Amino acid sequence: MSQCCSSLCDSTAKQFDAARAARDLAAYRANGPGKTTLGLLEGLAGTGVQPRTLLDIGAGIGTLSFELLEDGVSTATCVDMSPAFVECGQREAVQRGFAHRMSWRTADFVMVAPELPPADLVTLDRVVCCYPAFDALLRHAADHAEILLAMSYPKDRWYVRIALGAENFLRKLRNNAFRTFAHSPSKMDALLVGAGFRRLSRASTTIWRIDIYRRATTMTSA
C-alpha cells in the first residue's frame, strides 16, 4: 500500500524508477555499499552499541539494512517512497535470506510515522536532501530512535550548492519535478540536540557528511 504526499512521492517515484533500482542493485552486487553507506557502517561500529532493531528511512533497495542485518541487527523496517525500489529490495531480501527479518513500506515516512514502531537505530542515508523541509522528517525520525540515529546528507558548501542547483535546473528543463536540497547542518544538529541527542561522530567525503547521534539519556544510563 502506498501512502504519500502525491507531489513529493510522484516525483520521487519517477526519479527512482525500476531502471535505476536495477542499476543500484547491480552496483551493490558488484562493488558493495557506496561511500556514504560505508561511512555510516563505520561510524555505527565505532559507537560500541549493538542495535537489535532498525528503522531504515529512505531505504532504497535495502543496502544499508542488508549490511546491518549481516552485522547483527535482528529486524529491519524499510520505508521508501519509490515502489520500484521497494519491490527490488523485497526480491533481494528473499535472495539473501532476510525476508523473514524485514518489513517494507512504500510510503512517505512523515505521513506514516505514527503507525511505525520505534527502533534502537534509525538511519537516513542520503534522504534528508530529498525533502524540501527537513524539520518534520528529523523530528519523526528522532521520536522513533530509542538509542542511535545516523544520517548522511550533502555538505553545505558553495560547490555542493552549485552542483545541486545545476542538477535541479536540468531537471526543470526536462519537466522533472524531483529536487535535491542542501540543508543547514547547524540547524539539523540543533533540532536533534533539542530532541535529546548528542552527536558522537562526524565524517565527510567530498560531497557528503555522515553524522552519528546517540540519545543522551542512554549515554548517562549506559
Cβ–Cβ under 8 Å, residues 112 and 143: no
Give per-residue pLDDT as tens, 202-219: 999 999 999 999 999 866
Query: pLDDT-based confidence at 159, cuts 50/70/90?
Result: very high
pLDDT of 3 over the 90 cut: no
What is the amino acid identity at position 34? G
Query: pLDDT-based confidence at 188, cuts 50/70/90?
Result: very high
Burial 174-183 (b: 16+ CB within 10 A, else e): eeeebbbbbb
Cβ–Cβ under 8 Å, residues 78 and 65: yes
Question: Which pLDDT belongs to residue 217?
Answer: 82
Give per-residue pLDDT as tens, 6-53: 688 899 999 999 999 999 999 999 999 999 999 999 999 999 999 999
Q: CB-based contacts of 179: which residues, under 8 Å, 6+ apart?
A: 11, 132, 168, 171
pLDDT of 4 over the 80 cut: no
DSSP letter for 5, please. -
Question: Which pLDDT belongs to residue 221?
Answer: 56
Residue identified by cell 522528517 is: 137
Comparing 221 with 151, the larger pLDDT belongs to: 151
HSE at residue 11, side-chain half, CA atoms within 13 A, is 16
pTM: 0.93
Read off the pLDDT of each residue in 184-188 and give the average, rounded to a whole number: 97
Q: What are phi and psi of 148, to 5 degrees?
A: -120, 150
Question: Which pLDDT belongs to residue 6?
Answer: 63
Give the bridge partners for 149, in sequence order.
122, 213
**Residue 146 has which C-alpha cell?**
530509542
Query: pLDDT-based confidence at 2, cuts 50/70/90?
Result: very low
Question: Which pLDDT belongs to residue 1?
Answer: 39
Question: Which pLDDT belongs to residue 7?
Answer: 80
Query: pLDDT-based confidence at 166, cuts 50/70/90?
Result: very high
Read off the pLDDT of each residue in 57-64 and give the average, rounded to a whole number: 98
Query: pLDDT-based confidence at 149, cuts 50/70/90?
Result: very high
Topology (CATH level 3) of domain 2-221: Rossmann fold (3.40.50)
